[in-house]
Structure 1
């Protein structure tokens, strides 16, 4: 898979396909079209001490952490201002993450939670490099203002400021004992400094052009330096003399790393190539040439089995060391979305991570998300990372998605009728001669089952065309109707949507059915929570007050701790089977969630009832896809799921709120999650609830009534809660709704 830059905002990932066209073979590429600022060059990489977490930073104003067991982006560390994050460093505990940016600001973060500890105006200009001493006590920053500065890690207190006299300082590195700091500059000089007092020890040597990178050997005997003179120099620190010199052919070394035995040197070069050297014998042992754009950094994994590299294309690449095979590309975006994909086209992504990617054939572009059923395989990404799956070359063909036309209703139509059904007419064409297998209908963001469709009729059918008429019930007020065609190869058409308004001559107030679930008691298998049960009860109590207002009746069922079992959750849903198509179902879940493979190797997401152990998750946990199947049988006109089930990264194992929400969206209806990506959901005694529930309650009680009409509608609540939670947690938790644009607005509660 190749990465190519088109102009300033388009990346092309060459999941290259060969297609026979009029007897010739034409190349196809998967192109990643980005809005300005969505992503950018990856500038630096560092591996966490657990060997399972990777940190990257770059041009999109962020740093990101990646789970190397799942390929997921775990956390995003976003700077206050738009800037290039030029360098990052991690302490030996894996807790302290230091970032340097183009504005000259040093920021230090909790690497696990994403909470920022402090910032410091470190340099007048661009920070070129950041390093943390082996004992974690000191941070060094280098800048284009020709200064080196040392900082106390714990509180950001400045320790020493050194004027380097190098024009500007390009790179710094601590010796393993922390007593010496090496620096290389724009003038090519390599200088050693005492960290205790900031005095110069000696000038070790120089490159004939500007220096680029520095690396100490683990025993502290050697210092490796690279420069724009296409040389890597190895300095013997005992004799203070040049020990070896490696000459690179075309392009200088922008990043370097040693394997565990320290007999091999990995060099990442600005021409996109990577080389593995036997540096003592000055022999190139291996070349990795699959990257077409600059390699900013390259590192070995903990076992020396894989190589990880950062590229100006915006990708982090994973290679097999043994044969140099490319295994995986990981791309992160500035809005927190991400995408990981193999050379043979399989991928996993965040809720919207595949919206930026398109297959390209000639001038034709096909969004990757239309191929989701075919190629989104989280289990394959996990197998690649565990070494049990090797990508089988490149994709040989792609299929044209079907096209669809929603003939009726039309967008913006107004209907005036009582209980009559809405007629939907859709025409679908199969462009690749793959027979149309089904047409999916969604009403207010929720897929309609066959039982919920009042009638269907085939109006015309051929090998390539299908025209059908459906009749479905709709709600008074605003409704969003969508239709999607799926062919035999499981490739989808673009969704066709119409927003309509239904006016009735009589008041048809719906009933509200509520199921709230919360679990606090998980010890000793998992950490206990504080407010999940309180939150579940509070949400139910708040909506009960709406009976006789917007809702004719309000029916509630609350299950907490030991009562919140899979069986009782499903039994509670069966109690709601009497609801009608005009009614609304509101669901609230708070607790822990996990991801686990089942016996068939599929990744499944589970909600954990209280008392669940790590050995009985598949038996005691509630699989969310099973839950969605139960919801599909209910006739509710609208369904809202409020999801607050990602309280601990040590528990979730990839089952973030967002991943669960994206897997349910379209099946359940509106899914409003307490956090985005792999963010944690926070609780605090000062709030009396989790942050998400606190904001929900405040919004429902009137703070979300932005129009002052004594009604809180869905759009107002979503906006208020998202903003309030972000402010309460200082940006560490960001509620989100997958596919928010698919839902028509509606009145939710009347303020009493």
Structure 2
């Protein structure tokens, strides 16, 4: 049933909040409301079958239309989307009367409207309006998606892209600054990109919310970014990076990939930082290990002032999960609202949710974790939902609510309203100061209001949570740097510079010396409060990938997180993966975050490495298709100023040729005389520090022959049936930075030979030095090779499965290397090769070693240790393009965060060098001796994966692959080891193509 209400509304139609007065030259009719699309979840909440209509975000002070209403029909015109309502307005004249059918909650109403006059700027358009001249026309060359690659990425000159919207007032305000700066740099092309016409570019480069945004491109790469450039000095500083004589070096996360960080907090008595972003995601970082610990995704979220608790609304917006972040415990409550905003108290005892009920009435409801409604605070319909702000005090004693023209304080003990303060307009930001005595409202003349309602002049700074005695605040300097203010200082003497967009949040703690900041550039950064130096930045890219990087360039990341990191030197931009071999060092990140001096661990800095840029590589043309068993592939390598070092050639991801070799550093350190059990993390690090000076001289590979500044070579490659992808990379002369990978492809039409599977399993319980004997390693090797061979019969004939097992006395270094030599003469390109090792492992002089059975107590590399360098040479000799290496090793010196971080670093670099897959798990001796259900723990999870194939094949592909088994074994090992009290996280690294291990039956 539809009820009628009469009334008229005269207002200004807008889509976005950004409004400013201009000199207008024309008028048009308007509905005068801010609108947006109706979501499927809201449609379901109010009883619509499909998400149709125009959702009303805000309305004028008079009239019957309310925020939350959905306009379904204008006269007889059905409104399916906001653009339809805009189109109706264009068909009418000011003063026309129309009938609106609306949905208000589950009620349906009909209202009479009179459209009013609205002045409009010539050429000013709203999103969805076609056929209007651009507001930027005549003042800026604009491009759209179809021309972006040609005009920007393939441009021969640097390009400054100005991202704007025609409805954005600051975009017009700051445009003259960009044009003026451009006059000083005539070699830089400046183009405009309308975000409403180029959504794909906007998403690709993470441009949203803060407009205008400028991004500098050079050579097809993004160089730098500034959001809302308000001063010409900012643009000049940006454009100065295009000068060839600019040798400034920066390391930065790929622009715009993260989301706005709105809150940060150190969680007390833990090593965790919690951060909440604009998408509702809560990121939990382990700031001591330098790793992402947990991610909570939600449609709407709130984070307690101390970071300990999160409130997370599910996609329906009616169920809220209350999470104790440190303990990872969760309770759920069901609301009667469509939740728009959330806040949670410091102890997680109260959750505040704002939204509309089924009758379309907005309120702030307070509930406890048992789902009891404690308090419901109605919100005046005249207040735009976007302007409703509320927050708990850090001590949990008070709750502040800001709506139109007023601020209210409530006691959380009785939930009585204690103070009402008159205020002009609404708050854009609402924060309690860290002492819980005052509310800060940046942007207001009297921006500090105490609990009694007394006002005093405040600042535009953002509150730093966590230190109640100092009342710290971050003040933006206007150039994306900030200063730190306190009760005792205005902070003007110290500048914290590094963020690429405004700073929104800050946190400190009595437990750590660092200051944390969160910015609209999507990063959380840690700073030294005394010096202003950046310690590290943390970025979650929202797709499961993340990275933590120190100012020196050393980083820890997820499997592909490094792909989003860039290094700029002057006007040249490099991908961090070009520095992977040297700079992927979770162990150094950990040491830096512990406050240690990492000078003794740093063999090379980014600044030093980039002084010798990598060469350029290029393939000569190859036939697109061939039936020949071999193909001649030729390539050219040209120095760009840093010389030419090692050259690596890959086929379908696997290393098949390199002209570098790795010379072991002479064992002259004290560690060489130690017992194996004494080689703990402290000894490993002391040893590494002693090697720093030696490695600075030549940290990379040694080449077989010196090269000039130009190098040409041809090689004969054995083809494999189907697609052959040949990749090439070359290092600079010191072998510290590699080139961008060059790639060529061809199809081989030759008939594939029947593939064979070769498995070499090594298991060592008994050593010449009996003091380090193990218990389950030999059994692990026997069990693994037997079970995998049986499963492999689903895709290989039994006669094509070849097994080699070396146990205990058979598994000395000489025998293992001899077995590899024998297999090298048998294994073909199309075959599969798996190497399994269960034994002691060792980190020594920045390398990983397998400790073979010939170990007699002396760390003699030639007799008893197989180094990671030798493993690389092994992989090159084995022709199979599909190879998997499994290391289930025990570390006699124990495994702590330092050892596991270094283990991760060395294994990952090893896998990348070989272009192969590696499973590696390092445990303590005690864990190895204890075992788990008759095997070593990690081997147990592998055997479980081989047995429970359907559980491994989560995607239902019908097969277990190298990647899927690795994921399963890692997750299961982490789960079991945590329960046992000895947390163990396997390193699973995948380079090259995935391979099928067996079919699911």
For normalisation by structure 1, the TM-score amounts to 0.69
Structure 1 residues 348 and 736: CA distance shift in structure 2, 3 A: closer
Matches within 5 A, 1:523-672: 537=783, 540-544=786-790, 546=792, 549=797, 552-555=800-803, 557=805, 575-579=819-823, 580-582=826-828, 583-587=831-835, 625=868, 628-629=871-872, 631-632=874-875, 635-637=878-880, 638-641=882-885, 655=901, 662-671=908-917
- What is aligned with 1:495? 741
Contact 1:98 1:107 in 2 (8 A): yes
Contact 2:838 2:889 in 1 (8 A): yes
- What is aligned with 1:163? 377
For 1:693 and 1:488, locate their aligned partners in 2 and report how far apart those are by CA, in whole Å: 45
Q: Which has the higher helix share?
A: 2
For 1:531 and 1:183, locate their aligned partners in 2 and report how far apart those are by CA, in whole Å: 62
- What is aligned with 1:406? 619
- What is aligned with 1:267? 474
State the 1:494 CA deviation. Answer: 2.2
State the 1:355 CA deviation. Answer: 1.4
Kindly provide the CA deviation profile for residues 283-336 of structure 1, in whole angstroms up to 9, marking residues without a partner as x.
557654524522221011334632110000111122211132333322221122
- What is aligned with 2:132? none
1:353 pairs with 2:561: yes
1:470 pairs with 2:681: no
RMSD of aligned residue pairs (Cα, Å): 5.7
State the 1:106 CA deviation. Answer: 3.4
Q: Residue 127 of structure 1: which of 320, 341, 344 is its match?
A: 341
Contact 1:343 1:393 in 2 (8 A): no
SS at match of 1:666: helix
Structure 1 residues 388 and 696: CA distance shift in structure 2, 3 A: same
- What is aligned with 1:680? none
State the 1:67 CA deviation. Answer: 2.5
* Residues 312-321 or 571-580, more deviating: 571-580
1:141 pairs with 2:349: no
Structure 1 residues 701 and 511: CA distance shift in structure 2, 3 A: farther
Structure 1 residues 536 and 311: CA distance shift in structure 2, 3 A: farther
Matches within 5 A, 1:384-399: 384-385=592-593, 386-388=595-597
Q: Where does the alignment leave 5 or more consecutive residues of structure 1 unmatched? A: 520-529, 610-615, 676-682
Kindly provide the CA deviation profile for residues 159-194 of structure 1, in whole angstroms up to 9, marking residues without a partner as x.
524215474642322563x5x332231346444434
For normalisation by structure 2, the TM-score amounts to 0.54
Q: Which has the higher strand share?
A: 1
For 1:643 and 1:734, locate their aligned partners in 2 and report how far apart those are by CA, in whole Å: 13
State the 1:474 CA deviation. Answer: 5.8
- What is aligned with 2:142? none
Report 1 or 2 for greater relative contact order, CA contacts < 8 Å, sequence distance ≥ 6.
Answer: 1
1:233 pairs with 2:448: yes
For 1:691 and 1:64, locate their aligned partners in 2 and report how far apart those are by CA, in whole Å: 29
Structure 1 residues 257 and 518: CA distance shift in structure 2, 3 A: farther
State the 1:440 CA deviation. Answer: 0.6
- What is aligned with 1:186? 403
For 1:76 and 1:591, locate their aligned partners in 2 and report how far apart those are by CA, in whole Å: 35
Q: Residue 76 of structure 1: which of 273, 284, 295 is its match?
A: 295
Structure 1 residues 388 and 158: CA distance shift in structure 2, 3 A: farther
Q: Where does the alignment leave 5 or more consecutive residues of structure 2 unmatched? A: 1-160, 164-201, 207-221, 226-236, 356-361, 662-702, 766-775, 853-858, 922-931, 979-983
Higher Rg of the two aligned structures: 2
* Residues 267-276 or 649-658, more deviating: 649-658
* Residues 636-645 or 532-541, more deviating: 532-541
For 1:336 and 1:556, locate their aligned partners in 2 and report how far apart those are by CA, in whole Å: 38
For 1:18 and 1:314, locate their aligned partners in 2 and report how far apart those are by CA, in whole Å: 23
For 1:706 and 1:693, locate their aligned partners in 2 and report how far apart those are by CA, in whole Å: 20
Contact 1:142 1:172 in 2 (8 A): no
SS at match of 1:664: helix
Structure 1 residues 465 and 552: CA distance shift in structure 2, 3 A: same
State the 1:735 CA deviation. Answer: 11
1:447 pairs with 2:642: no
Matches within 5 A, 1:34-45: 38-45=257-264
Structure 1 residues 208 and 726: CA distance shift in structure 2, 3 A: farther
* Residues 226-235 or 481-490, more deviating: 226-235
For 1:13 and 1:414, locate their aligned partners in 2 and report how far apart those are by CA, in whole Å: 41
Matches within 5 A, 1:146-545: 146-152=363-369, 157-163=371-377, 165=379, 167=383, 169-174=388-393, 176=395, 180-187=397-404, 189-195=406-412, 199-203=415-419, 205=421, 208-211=424-427, 212-215=429-432, 222-229=437-444, 231-233=446-448, 235=450, 240=452, 242=454, 245-248=456-459, 252-257=460-465, 259=467, 262-267=469-474, 272=480, 274-279=482-487, 288-290=495-497, 291=499, 293-303=501-511, 305-343=513-551, 345-359=553-567, 365-373=573-581, 375-378=583-586, 380-385=588-593, 386-388=595-597, 400-407=613-620, 413-417=625-629, 423-430=632-639, 432-448=640-656, 463-471=708-716, 479-489=724-734, 490-499=736-745, 507=753, 509-515=755-761, 537=783, 540-544=786-790
Contact 1:230 1:253 in 2 (8 A): no
Structure 1 residues 10 and 506: CA distance shift in structure 2, 3 A: closer
| Number of residue equivalences | 668
For 1:284 and 1:17, locate their aligned partners in 2 and report how far apart those are by CA, in whole Å: 26
For 1:110 and 1:231, locate their aligned partners in 2 and report how far apart those are by CA, in whole Å: 36
State the 1:722 CA deviation. Answer: 6.3
SS at match of 1:578: helix
For 1:171 and 1:607, locate their aligned partners in 2 and report how far apart those are by CA, in whole Å: 58
